[in-house]
Amino acid sequence: MRYFSTRGETPPMAFTDAVLTGLAPDGGLLLPDHIPDVRDRLAAWRSLGYVQLAQELIALFVDDIPRSTLDDIIRRAYATFDHPEIAPLVPVGGVSVMELFHGPTLAFKDVALQFLGRLFEYVLRQRGEHLNILGATSGDTGSAAIAGVRGLADIDIFIMYPAGRVSELQELQMTTVLDPNVHCLSVSGSFDDCQNLMKTLFGDLPFKSSYHLGAVNSVNWARVLAQVVYYAWASLRFDSDVPVRFAVPTGNFGNVFAGYVARRMGLPVGDLVVATNENDILSVFFNSGAYARGPVRFTITPAMDIQVASNFERYLFYRLGEDPAALRAFMRQFAETGAASVEGGAGGDFVATAVNVAETSATISAVYAESGYVVDPHTAVGLAAARRLPYAGPTVCLATAHPAKFPEAVDAAVGAPVARHERLERLRGLPARSTPVPASLQAIRDFIETHAARR
């Protein structure tokens, strides 16, 4: 299996190279040269546990890691989860909620990053290389990335976050990790400042290569691949003539794109509901075919406060007939004008709807009143979308975070302190380590130079 770039200007590469590459040098995203058809395996796959299923499915996309090593990486990645089923399905009202938050940081990003961290460890050791991961976070991604690589020998991780602008618990989830390879930088500036610093450092090619800088952002193919597994797992739990619908709280489109891959593999995946918050560029696109950037709006679902979804390009590639030239033209027009559209409309691969803050809160409160089940705001966006759109078969709503990660919004919606998790409560009072730095390129560069183990 080789991986090629959606923009068509990067030579195809093996899986392990794709893992280390992340974004392709031509600016495109990597995709496998074919998507395996698994329809003749479904009967056998129904009897597998989550980890076994992950091992069978992921192996179809990886041919440059020995099978026993890959199996071991996957087994260790999910041994960190606190539920035996990894992604349990819980009946709530008329739907099933798939809890994807049983990993170390209580967010669905753990499903991908626990796998990616161990993959990096293996590939770097094979090659005798060291990697310095640099990231900027406004909350969830930073802690999940840190949890994925803490304690690993050949990786240092540097995470910048805006001082005073991430929640207390989110900051503690990062700063209480005391492994020597973890470096938290509390930047006196905004999240945008952090992101700009990161982009500038990645753009400084001599610096990037002498310090072997890497990223763990959501365009990494291995993250998408790990997420395909739970669509397969959930879709095989039902015995229904109508394939299973999934409602997916969507930000960067990585999660719901994994559902699209699962469906192309021949798994019984039906409607894929792209549920956005008021940052509705994707919802507008799937309802009209017009893709136009707007201003970012801040909501109670911060992980979805995104206008331009980085993984959307992967789907566009297929929608535009797997034609890299057409894709390049679309992206060029979008970059230049902030808008582009697809001839023939968005197609029928996804259904989409946008849910505002008031509806999100009302859904948290209604679900609690009806079933006593507490959902986080992101999950509530998906539930609200599923309730709005009709479907004839079973529905799975993806729960992307534990409600205790967003206690203010959840408690306010329910009117009682219901969003707690013992693991988060215990963080208060633990020793923490973080370095305050000004929002200056020189300061960040100096810090990395001092702390990074040079290649």
The yes or no reply on residue 261 touching ligand PLP (CB under 6 A) is: no
Distance of CA 146 to the CA centre of its chain: 14
Spatial separation of the C-alpha atoms in residues 237 and 350, rounded to whole Å: 22
Spatial separation of the C-alpha atoms in residues 407 and 174, rounded to whole Å: 18
Site for ligand PLP in 286-305 (CB under 6 A): 303-304
Q: Candidates 3-11, 80-88, 247-255, 356-364 — which segment interacts with ligand PLP by CB under 6 A?
A: 247-255
Q: Candidates 37-45, 244-252, 280-288, 366-374 — which segment interacts with ligand PLP by CB under 6 A?
A: 244-252
- The distance of closest approach from Cβ of residue 136 to ligand PLP in the complex, given in angstroms and rounded to an integer, is 14
The yes or no reply on residue 259 touching ligand PLP (CB under 6 A) is: no
The yes or no reply on residue 254 touching ligand PLP (CB under 6 A) is: yes
Task: Give the per-residue contact string, 203-242, with ligand PLP (x = CB under 6 A; - = no).
Answer: ---------------x------------------------
- The distance of closest approach from Cβ of residue 400 to ligand PLP in the complex, given in angstroms and rounded to an integer, is 3
199 among known catalytic residues: no
Task: Give the per-residue contact string, 385-404, with ligand PLP (x = CB under 6 A; - = no).
Answer: ---------------xx---
Is the Cβ of residue 107 or residue 160 nearer to ligand PLP in the bound state?
A: 107
Rounded to the nearest 10°, the torsion over CA 205, 202, 118, 246 is: -140
Spatial separation of the C-alpha atoms in residues 250 and 269, rounded to whole Å: 17
Length of the chain: 455
Spatial separation of the C-alpha atoms in residues 48 and 29, rounded to whole Å: 31
The yes or no reply on residue 314 touching ligand PLP (CB under 6 A) is: no
Identify the residue whose tokens are 């509901």: 273
- The distance of closest approach from Cβ of residue 343 to ligand PLP in the complex, given in angstroms and rounded to an integer, is 26
The yes or no reply on residue 364 touching ligand PLP (CB under 6 A) is: no
Residues binding ligand PLP: number (CB under 6 A): 16
Is the Cβ of residue 70 or residue 159 nearer to ligand PLP in the bound state?
A: 159
Among 21, 143, 176, 252, binds ligand PLP (CB under 6 A): 252
Is the Cβ of residue 314 or residue 328 nearer to ligand PLP in the bound state?
A: 314
Q: Among positive and negative, which fits the CA dihedral 8, 10, 12, 18?
A: negative
Is the Cβ of residue 187 or residue 398 nearer to ligand PLP in the bound state?
A: 398
Residue 137, CA distances (Å) to 61, 197, 225, 388 in order: 29, 12, 22, 32
Q: Residue 381: what are its φ and ψ, rounded to 5°?
A: -60, -45
Spatial separation of the C-alpha atoms in residues 367 and 108, rounded to whole Å: 20
Is the Cβ of residue 309 or residue 452 nearer to ligand PLP in the bound state?
A: 309
SS3 content of the chain, % helix, strand, coil (to 5): 45, 15, 40
The yes or no reply on residue 102 touching ligand PLP (CB under 6 A) is: no
Distance of CA 202 to the CA centre of its chain: 21
Of 361, 407, 432, nearest in space to 143 by CA: 432
Is the Cβ of residue 249 or residue 270 nearer to ligand PLP in the bound state?
A: 249
- The distance of closest approach from Cβ of residue 77 to ligand PLP in the complex, given in angstroms and rounded to an integer, is 18
Q: Candidates 81-89, 249-257, 423-431, 432-440 — which segment interacts with ligand PLP by CB under 6 A?
A: 249-257
Spatial separation of the C-alpha atoms in residues 43 and 285, rounded to whole Å: 36
Is the Cβ of residue 53 or residue 398 nearer to ligand PLP in the bound state?
A: 398
Of 61, 219, 134, 74, nearest in space to 444 by CA: 134
The one catalytic residue in 109, 199, 208, 405 is 109
Q: Which secondary structure element, helix H or strand E, spans residue 148, and what is its range? A: helix 140-149
Rounded to the nearest 10°, the torsion over CA 1, 269, 289, 292 is: -70
Q: What is the 3-state secondary structure (H, E, C) of 418-438?
A: CCCCHHHHCCCCCCCCCEEEE
Is the Cβ of residue 132 or residue 173 nearer to ligand PLP in the bound state?
A: 173
Give strand pairing partners of 213.
132
Among 107, 169, 174, 229, binds ligand PLP (CB under 6 A): 107
Residue 225, CA distances (Å) to 15, 232, 263, 279, 400 in order: 11, 11, 13, 26, 17
Among 250, 279, 361, 363, binds ligand PLP (CB under 6 A): 250
Among 378, 384, 385, 413, binds ligand PLP (CB under 6 A): 378
Q: Which two tokens stand for residue 265?
A: 């593999």
Contact positions toward ligand PLP, by CB under 6 A? Answer: 107, 109, 140, 218, 249-255, 303-304, 378, 400-401
| Residues known to be catalytic | 109
